[in-house]
Structure 1
Amino acid sequence: MFKLYHRSQYLCVLLCIVSLTVTLILTPTFHQKTVASTRTHSAAELRGVWLTNIDSDVLFESDRLKNAIGRLHQLNFNTLYPTVWNWGYTLYPSRVAQRVIGRSLDPTPGLQRRDVLNEIVQQAHRKGMAAIPWFEFGFMAPADSLLAQRHPQWLTSRRDGSKIWQEGTHERVWLNPFRPDVQQFILDLIVEIVGNYDVDGIQFDDHFGLPSEFGYDAYTVALYQKEHQGQSPPSDPQDAEWVRWRADKITNYMQRVFHTIKARKQNCLISVSPNPQRVSYDLFLADWEKWERKGFIEELILQVYRNDINVFISELQYPEVVAAQRHIPVGVGILSGLKNRHVPIKQVQEQVTEVRRHKFAGVSFFFYETLWNLSQEKSSDRQSVFQRLFSAATPRPNIYKGWKSN
């Protein structure tokens, strides 16, 4: 009896060990799950990255830029979103900027006697990658910029008359998106790029709106009064009708931008990379949900810069996001880090997996430098993860090239 008990106990233990071993063999690890998702997701996938001149020098030297694009291509990225409008300057030689600002190019030494946008477009296309210039600053400008100094009447203000919008340690101002001359300036920059470069699209974000606390300048107040029987705008900047009125004006401008681009280059994609709708609309008057419903957006990349994976997932499930997925390619913007904010590669990997699980069109990372250069982790380790995530080359989804919703 004693021996039988121990034999039974031994068999039970043995069976448990065998069962556990089989489970460990058959159950994929986090890495294996990621690789599996790589193998089973749709053939087309957006794999993008934003290239900026803030906390990054990738644009300031031709060889550095060439090497960066080459490495991204080796890791099977397929889309570049380079900034072309930042800090009140263009990052390409611009006749429009020369006429309006008095300077045709950002004065940073590394950009002189070069056309960075042309370099990016040429190198990207040689490697089968898309190049979609990004209007990073939108209607925003540094408070001390030549643009603000030369055109003070273009600036909008709060109800108390103040104009400065603090962004970290930087003082910004906002161009008035309701003024025809401001609208024409931005539109001229867009047309200049579409007409002079073989770009695959143009991208805007919620800087193509306006912080909702602004809009109390004399021009906008007079325009509101004209359309409201002399009544002044509400004192509360979050008043629902006042928010809607301004947001609709920006939507009307977005419509004009869309049709102007299409008149010059029909297959030039209109890409928008906003915050979630409630932030974009309530805080920046950029009603991308309406833009999408009206057909003014042909690619949406939702900025979901969240650390908590449950919060991250919840942002992917809002009705307006799900609805957009049925109409156009919708990708997810993932934060790979900031200069003073490290994001572990495990978090990046986990978020990419969730994006694929929810059948989004792909991902884009903000920003290039923090993919593997600005990080507390080894550059080689982070690059190895991207190599596993993007183990094979794939085309980007494009509504002009047979894209269909899942």
Structure 2
Amino acid sequence: MTWSHIIHNTRSGTCIGCSPCGIAPEIAPENAPEIAPEIPTENIPNTYIAMISKMNPVTKPFLPLLLILLLGLMTSGCKAAELPAKTGKLGELDPPKQEFRGAWLTTVVNLDWPVSYDQPVGEQKADAIAMLDSLKDIGINAVLFQVRGESDAFYASAYDPWSHWLTGEQGRAPDPFYDPLSFMVREAHNRGMELHAWINPYRVERRKGMYPLAGSNISRREPGWILEFASRPGEYYTMLNPGMPEVRDYVTNVVVDIIRRYDVDGIHFDDYFYPYSPVTDEDSLTWLRHHSGIEDIEDWRRFNVNELVAQVHDSIQAIAPHVTFGISPFAIRKNSDVGTNAFEGYYRLYADGLAWLEQRTIDYINPQLYFELEHPRAPYAPLLEYWARVARENERHMYAGLAPYRIFPPNDWSLDQALDQLRLNIANGHVQGNIFFRTEHLIANPKGYTDVLRNELYRYPALTPSLPWKSQDRPLPVERISASWSDDGRVILTWARPDPARATIQPDARETYAEAARYAVYRLDMPPAEFAEMRTVMEQGGGSPTITGPAIYPQNMVDVTGQRQFVDRWSGDKTHAVYIVTAISHNSIESHAMSVWTWMDDDGFHYKVR
């Protein structure tokens, strides 16, 4: 995710410049190249996109604007965007009800968590809980937790040893014992957030010999499966050989093991396929043995990656079809796609995101769009438009990979630069969410960026997007819902998990019902006179008014939770509220609503369930 900043302008990989990395090279966790700006940041024109008025992001007045903007970029040698001045705040937008709001939680080199490999278990857990609480407060609804960064594991794996970055010794379990993946799944789900297991499929050692490998490491057990590359003078990068069918089976089995034993919501690969350092003839013998009839070795390398992606996808579909599978590739596939002039993932990493979309072997593409709007060789807007378009054409989702870490030195992006990228994502109309690299930087609120997310764009909770190609079954409504009042001024709602055997709404025998994965809670704050009228109807035996679709609009949503309880503190003068609870499937399909009408009068606290 974080890049080492070596620039290549052609397929041959000629080095044309460098820029410093936010992490010292000797500990940089992810060695993807960056394209260094040719002009200082302070000299970049301060240009912006027009503020979208308070309306749906795909509303027609802004689509022509976006098309004109992108057409101008792509027909002018990919020059920097000239954006009109802003006319308002992001808070004037209505946030969507469904949106992927993800954060990468990085474990390699102890970047996000744990703070060090010798941190006591109790402190590890406390820090993890604090991070999840902070992400929840920001509005994040999905955590991409790195569980396999170097053919190791942040969980009890039958295939890979415990991570060095967890305990300080690869292969040594936490003491006292706990399973971080199981812990994170439980805690994220309690907070109504999805937990995706992020794995690096091939990498074994970022830097060979950095720490001792366990005897159970795959490179010790199967040394013939390993490729080695010179990453810089005197340093080597090791990885599993993608051309070996045994390796594809091994990585697939790692994924299958995770989805069978852990209640994860997704599997996520990042940009590490073949290495960023140039590949020459390291795998030529493998090609001779396993060429599959492919005459060009570079085509064969892409075939290897595509085969793994397809095999993982098919295994997920067979075992846990509700689990999503997505990949976060380097932003530039080919320069010819949009007229960029930079490193190409297609030729250097042998990663072809377009093929995965066309073959529909992923559910979403998450390109790492870590470039400025005005970048001279890879401006943000045409890359965004390209990936949104090809995802849409192949009926898959696109989540933009964003880089709040670049708001910090040495990149020192302006706040406007980072917010303008969010504006472009919204204006596009076909970007279903964002994923932020990385958790520590997002929580740190660089230049107030996170405040804008929390207080404006993400001011209402959101469900993750429903995928039309997955199950559309809805859960049954929640059961046994009730409300109570505490002496310190809180309303406490509780309910039971839907169970067809005791459902108050008789299941339709013609339908199948999804499992309830989480719950959405809405609150309606009616004017006192309107509520009094409704209450009179109920007290006269007329029943409770029916809750309709508009009541469960996003602006009324107050929480998404995995627990069967919601606590709401009333202010001193508050006397009534209507709460609505829906059960949510793994695919964000909502059940029918159950409403609870609550009020306080001279006789005390009352509630009625509809």
Both structures adopt the same fold (TM-score exceeding 0.5): yes
For residues 284 and 35 of structure 1, do their structure 2 counterparts lie closer, same or farther at Cα, with a shift above 3 Å needed?
same
**Does the residue aligned with 2:89 lie in a helix, a strand or coil?**
helix
The CA distance in 1 between the partners of 2:439 and 2:286, in whole Å, is: 38
Q: Is contact 1:95-1:104 (8 Å) kept?
A: no
The CA distance in 2 between the partners of 1:204 and 1:299, in whole Å, is: 11
What residue number does 1:78 align with? Answer: 141
Amino acid of the residue matched to residue 267 of structure 1? H
What residue number does 2:245 align with? Answer: 180
- After TM superposition, the score normalised by the length of structure 2 is 0.52
The CA distance in 2 between the partners of 1:349 and 1:368, in whole Å, is: 18
Q: Which moved more, 1:51-60 or 1:271-280?
A: 51-60
For residues 264 and 224 of structure 1, do their structure 2 counterparts lie closer, same or farther at Cα, with a shift above 3 Å needed?
closer
Which residues in structure 2 correspond to 1:3-402 (within 5 Å)?
A: 30=86, 32-37=88-93, 39=94, 42-53=96-107, 54=109, 56-59=111-114, 61-97=124-160, 103-106=161-164, 108-109=166-167, 112=174, 113-136=177-200, 138-142=202-206, 143-144=208-209, 146=213, 147=217, 148-156=219-227, 163-166=229-232, 171-210=236-275, 213-214=279-280, 216-217=282-283, 219-223=285-289, 227=293, 241-276=296-331, 277-278=333-334, 279-309=344-374, 311-318=379-386, 321-326=388-393, 327-337=395-405, 341=410, 342-359=412-429, 360-373=431-444, 377=447, 381-387=448-454, 388-399=456-467, 400=470
Q: Is contact 1:96-1:104 (8 Å) kept?
A: no
Report the alpha carbon displacement of residue 51 of structure 1 after superposing the two structures with TM.
Answer: 0.2
- Tell me the matched-pair count: 350
For residues 116 and 29 of structure 1, do their structure 2 counterparts lie closer, same or farther at Cα, with a shift above 3 Å needed?
farther
The CA distance in 2 between the partners of 1:321 and 1:220, in whole Å, is: 36
Q: Which of 1 and 2 has higher RCO (CA within 8 Å, sep 6+)? A: 1
Report the alpha carbon displacement of residue 337 of structure 1 after superposing the two structures with TM.
Answer: 0.8
The CA distance in 1 between the partners of 2:280 and 2:227, in whole Å, is: 6
- Give ranges in structure 1 of 5+ residues lacking alignment: 1-25, 98-102, 158-162, 234-240
User: Could you say which structure has the higher helix fraction?
Assistant: 1
Report the alpha carbon displacement of residue 164 of structure 1 after superposing the two structures with TM.
Answer: 2.6
Report the alpha carbon displacement of residue 76 of structure 1 after superposing the two structures with TM.
Answer: 1.3
Report the alpha carbon displacement of residue 31 of structure 1 after superposing the two structures with TM.
Answer: 8.5
Q: Is contact 1:273-1:300 (8 Å) kept?
A: yes
Q: Is contact 2:400-2:435 (8 Å) kept?
A: yes
The CA distance in 2 between the partners of 1:188 and 1:324, in whole Å, is: 28
Amino acid of the residue matched to residue 323 of structure 2? C
The CA distance in 1 between the partners of 2:260 and 2:237, in whole Å, is: 30
**Does the residue aligned with 2:98 lie in a helix, a strand or coil?**
coil
- After TM superposition, the score normalised by the length of structure 1 is 0.77
What residue number does 1:19 align with? Answer: none
The CA distance in 1 between the partners of 2:96 and 2:433, in whole Å, is: 10
Amino acid of the residue matched to residue 81 of structure 1? L
Deviation by residue 1:33-55 (Cα, 9 ceiling, x = unmatched): 31223x1x543111110000245
The CA distance in 2 between the partners of 1:321 and 1:171, in whole Å, is: 36
Q: Is contact 2:202-2:241 (8 Å) kept?
A: no
The CA distance in 2 between the partners of 1:301 and 1:31, in whole Å, is: 29
- Give ranges in structure 2 of 5+ residues lacking alignment: 1-52, 55-83, 116-123, 335-343, 473-586, 589-610
Report the alpha carbon displacement of residue 85 of structure 1 after superposing the two structures with TM.
Answer: 0.8
Q: Is contact 1:49-1:366 (8 Å) kept?
A: yes
Report the alpha carbon displacement of residue 210 of structure 1 after superposing the two structures with TM.
Answer: 5.0
For residues 138 and 221 of structure 1, do their structure 2 counterparts lie closer, same or farther at Cα, with a shift above 3 Å needed?
closer
For residues 29 and 210 of structure 1, do their structure 2 counterparts lie closer, same or farther at Cα, with a shift above 3 Å needed?
closer
Deviation by residue 1:375-394 (Cα, 9 ceiling, x = unmatched): 5x4xxx34322212211111
The CA distance in 1 between the partners of 2:111 and 2:165, in whole Å, is: 16
Report the alpha carbon displacement of residue 109 of structure 1 after superposing the two structures with TM.
Answer: 3.0
Amino acid of the residue matched to residue 166 of structure 2? T
Amino acid of the residue matched to residue 82 of structure 1? F
User: Could you say which structure has the higher strand fraction?
Assistant: 2
Instruction: Report % sequence identity.
Output: 21
